[in-house]
Amino acid sequence: MDDDSEHERERVKSGRPAKAIATTKLIQAGVIFQAICLEFGVTEDEMRGQSRSPNLRAARLEFCRRCEAADINRPYMATLLNRNLSTIKQFLGLRPQPNGGSRPPLSDSAFEAQLTRGREILRAVCAESGFTEETIRSSAQTGTLPLARREFAHRCKAEKISARAIAELLGRDHTTIYSFSGGLPGSDGNPALGRLPAILQDVCAKYGVTADALRSSKRSKVLISARREFCQRCAAEDISITEIANALHRTLRPIYAALEN
């Protein structure tokens, strides 16, 4: 898109004054911006800020892609995101499927196989979290429900289930799945996992306990508080419920319980 000539092309095409077109496009961009904030559960300030969580990165990328599809020029995107034009061009250079051109499309049978396996994973997550499938598919954001969705997406991604299949199982647009599963499909693992040992060490030092004690079956007040804080800090770093449970040598149900309290 050539930003310098876009207004003139639009004016000639529509017969409307360029100023009126610009105002309409800016309003349209603002509507898209607000819709993205609602879909991804972020604030406008967070979208404009410097935080680089997988959820925010996916939200900014989706905002730029929708604006591009609506023929909204890049300066408007840059204004709303508080970014420069080179950053906007970088967002628009990303693709939902890295190296997608070299991958053959999924056959109908392969997609159905992914859905079948995905349904099994969804039932397991429901059993562990205590949520029903309908609740996980809903738009509610209460308690550990967002974590249950993220856990489902993490497990599906680990089994090479496509974003399209995950989206269908959750009743969502496939672009929203990037925020659940730790970024764009094809990214190598979750970089936040590298923080887990440091979080464990930090919590142990704060409460004066050992990692072995934290993993034990003992239930003193100090250990319960330490486990809860460890779970909360890991969840805040987009570390999956499974990884938290593995670190504490627990099943998944107690991790959900710790995060509910």
Give the Cα-Cα-Cα angle 108, 110, 111 (nearest 5 degrees): 65
Q: Is the pLDDT of residue 175 over 80?
A: no
Give the Cα-Cα-Cα angle 122, 100, 89 (nearest 5 degrees): 105
Range name among 12-26, 38-52, 221-235 with the lowest pLDDT average: 12-26
Q: What is the mean pLDDT of residues 20-35?
A: 80
Residue position matching structure tokens 């009126």: 20
Q: For 83-109, what is each residue's pLDDT tens digit?
A: 888 878 777 764 444 444 445 566 778
Range name among 2-11, 23-32, 143-152 with the lowest pLDDT average: 2-11
Residue position matching structure tokens 């639009």: 10
Q: Is the pLDDT of residue 139 over 70?
A: yes
pLDDT at 117: 94
Q: How far is it, in rounded angstroms, from Cα 101 to Cα 110?
A: 18
Question: Using CA atoms in the order 5, 9, 11, 12, what is the torsion angle rounded to 10 degrees?
Answer: 140
Residue 248 burial (CB count, 10 A)? 20
pLDDT at 49: 85
Of 135, 18, 3, whose CA–CA distance to 73 is shortest?
3
Q: Which residue has better confidence, 225 or 170?
A: 225
Name the pTM for this structure: 0.48
Q: How far is it, in rounded angstroms, from Cα 125 to Cα 108?
A: 25
Q: What is the mean pLDDT of the chain?
A: 78
Q: For 193-247, what is each residue's pLDDT tens digit?
A: 567 888 889 999 999 999 889 989 998 999 999 999 999 888 887 788 888 888 8
**pLDDT band at 150; cut points 50, 70, 90:** confident
Beta carbons of 185 and 157 less than 8 angstroms apart = yes
Of 81, 168, 95, whose CA–CA distance to 133 is shortest?
168
The domains located in the chain, with CATH, are: 3-93 (1.10.1750), 101-180 (1.10.1750), 191-260 (no CATH)
Range name among 5-14, 38-47, 118-127, 129-138 with the lowest pLDDT average: 5-14
Residue positions counted in the chain: 261
Q: Using the 8-state DSSP alphabet, how is residue 101 labeled?
A: G
Range name among 14-18, 36-40, 56-60 with the lowest pLDDT average: 14-18
pLDDT at 247: 86
pLDDT at 206: 93
Look up residue 39 and give its two tokens: 């879909």
